[in-house]
Structure 1
């Protein structure tokens, strides 16, 4: 039924995605990649249109430069877009029907492509494990492991985070702490006279510094 919907590259997000995954690019176009994320987040049809365009770029494509660029766009969108997009990515139809087919022995893609696909599946399985409507990727991940597929060694904690509701709530809580501590420290520094600092104030500043969480948002 896909053919009835027309060319996947004819939509606003499809046009951007076609350009962002052009094999002639010397490097990733991050301006385009983030524009794709904005369209997905801000329009009603953005998520579905993006998935259609990604399927077209990734399915059966032997130009692995384009495939790698497509996987980078996909990864960026998962990290920066919300639940409407996650539901379309983390299901069996997309994971098994698109991503797993890329690394099929019949296609024999380069190792870098295999590792990228497996790393994405592994990262999403970890991130979405506690979300009931996003566990399609979890099931595929576990099936692949049972088949003896070896996933690349990856430090999941070091990967750029996927902004699930739980992670966003924690980030907001930490941001409130940072704002509070920054305000207090700023007021104290404004009132201090160089060379006449009170030792208790200096100690409090040091405590504030060490109790302020380090927030990493990518």
Structure 2
């Protein structure tokens, strides 16, 4: 027991005290050796998983210290990879994931975007399941709740904590941080929709529809990569608009299925397809915004050129040195137009 602390205090146990020290704000960076020692204690102690989760809850509960939250998330990540089903099963419970992790996304904590993305990445990854039969139904429900609220999760190829450098217009910005609403937190009490276990015939039919979604995503990605605002192929644009509308309908169907399907392998595939589809839809929306900006800039350029082409004053008026309010002004220069490119993760058929 840690000196001077009650055993009821989560930091009062030997393991809890180590977690407290390893995630203290005074620590400059992650002590991976200490983290591994904590993992060993969790694995070898009968009550290790429970004690560790209690200590982790205390560390992040109502904590506005960004450094301590960052260190705690790093420790959680290592423990999830090394401490097995007993620890994982406790972390993916609603009690921890939603009541503690998701609460950190509240604006009052003002977390940096990289830390917010790390939390969202955890939820997305955990919802896909673990070896060893860990029940991830609760974290999957949380993931679906956030998706339905329009939360933008980090893409699989995005490195957490870094900004992707791609050839986008300077005015294209990263989606705003997630702001949890009251409806998200209150939905825990809502009644659960009945679930279904798909049989082989239904799974086969679903795979056919999923393959169609994958094909549409590939076509959308290819069109977006081959066209740039201002030099679009009109036929491509018409097809892209149709695929976008179809994709939105498909995404709604996927979300409905994710809410009720019990088959773990089907759920994992649907989540991945939904992520890829979402990136394609976002790519189209970014392209449309850039296309609109290009058209506005092009229109401004034409107006400026039109003003420059107005007839000059007659030669006899050149002797008059007084200011002439009707004289044409110089045209404004056209700003550079940035071509947009979209990159999506590869889809296996």
Go from structure 1 to structure 2 and tell me whether the alpha carbon gap of 1:106 and 1:22 turns closer, same or farther (over 3 Å shift). closer
Cα distance in 2, alignment partners of residues 84 and 24 from structure 1: 30
CA contact (8 A) 2:85 2:134 kept: no
For 2:79, the equivalent position in structure 1 comes to 77
Go from structure 1 to structure 2 and tell me whether the alpha carbon gap of 1:12 and 1:153 turns closer, same or farther (over 3 Å shift). same
User: Counterparts of 1:1-218 in structure 2 under 5 Å?
Assistant: 6-128=8-130, 131=133, 133-155=135-157
Go from structure 1 to structure 2 and tell me whether the alpha carbon gap of 1:91 and 1:6 turns closer, same or farther (over 3 Å shift). same
Cα distance in 2, alignment partners of residues 128 and 42 from structure 1: 20
Cα distance in 2, alignment partners of residues 16 and 5 from structure 1: 14
Cα distance in 2, alignment partners of residues 46 and 52 from structure 1: 10
Q: Partner of 1:102: helix, strand, or coil?
A: helix
TM-score, normalised to structure 2, is 0.42
TM-score, normalised to structure 1, is 0.66
CA contact (8 A) 2:42 2:52 kept: yes
Moved more, 39-48 or 99-108: 99-108
Residue segments in structure 2 that go unaligned for 5+ positions in a row: 1-5, 159-349
Could you list the per-position Cα deviations for residues 157-191 of structure 1 after superposition, in whole angstroms to 9, with x for gaps in the alignment? xxxxxxxxxxxxxxxxxxxxxxxxxxxxxxxxxxx
Cα distance in 2, alignment partners of residues 91 and 27 from structure 1: 28
**TM superposition shift of 1:127:** 3.2
Aligned positions, number: 153
CA contact (8 A) 2:126 2:139 kept: yes
Cα distance in 2, alignment partners of residues 112 and 59 from structure 1: 19
Residue segments in structure 1 that go unaligned for 5+ positions in a row: 157-218
CA contact (8 A) 1:18 1:53 kept: yes
Cα distance in 2, alignment partners of residues 109 and 93 from structure 1: 21
For 1:162, the equivalent position in structure 2 comes to none
**TM superposition shift of 1:139:** 1.1
Cα distance in 2, alignment partners of residues 19 and 8 from structure 1: 13
Q: Partner of 1:25: helix, strand, or coil?
A: coil
Q: Partner of 2:154: helix, strand, or coil?
A: coil
**TM superposition shift of 1:130:** 9.5
Go from structure 1 to structure 2 and tell me whether the alpha carbon gap of 1:35 and 1:151 turns closer, same or farther (over 3 Å shift). same
Go from structure 1 to structure 2 and tell me whether the alpha carbon gap of 1:126 and 1:33 turns closer, same or farther (over 3 Å shift). same
Q: Partner of 2:71: helix, strand, or coil?
A: helix
Which structure has the larger Rg? 2
**TM superposition shift of 1:142:** 1.1
RMSD of aligned alpha carbons: 2.0
Cα distance in 1, alignment partners of residues 51 and 132 from structure 2: 27
